Amino acid sequence: MNHAYLIEQGLAKPGVTLRYPFDPAMPVLFVGSKMFALLSTHGGRPSANLKGDPETNWLLRESHPDTVLPGYHMNKRHWNTVVLDGSLSEGEILDMLEESYRLVCRNLPKAERPPVQQESR
């Protein structure tokens, strides 16, 4: 798993854009005006900050203490930093990416929600 693959998977979702609001070396996936995946490094290893349900975040951190960490420079209850070192399966990481996207879409103003999100409500 790497940043390029996560970007490819993220951009396949409705309404997603790739931006660099913080640093040219730090890609961020947005849906509407909100970010749902910040791609960076943690301890020299590629990582992704992803939003999640607080209870699920806690369970993931307990199950994968060296790979899923409280979100670096983020609300630590709602965000995880996921180290992309091969410890988690591709499916697990893509599930976390999907959950982050879904949670952020849910809180977007109606005018900013991607069409698929509006239809499901």
Topology of the domain comprising 3-112: Aspartate Aminotransferase, domain 1 (3.90.1150)
Tell me the per-residue pLDDT of 20-68, one tens digit each, with 9 for 90 and over: 999 999 999 999 999 999 999 999 999 999 999 999 999 999 999 999 9
Question: Is 78's pLDDT higher than 90?
Answer: yes
**Across 68-87, average pLDDT:** 94
pLDDT for 116 equals 61
Domain boundaries, the chain: 3-112
At residue 115 the predicted structure's pLDDT band, cuts being 50, 70 and 90, is confident
User: Which of the two residues, 78 and 73, has the higher pLDDT score?
Assistant: 78
Read off the pLDDT of each residue in 81-86 and give the average, rounded to a whole number.
Answer: 96
CB 37 within 8 A of CB 48: yes
pLDDT grade for 121, boundaries at 50, 70 and 90: very low
Q: How far apart are alpha carbons 98 and 117 in whole angstroms?
A: 13
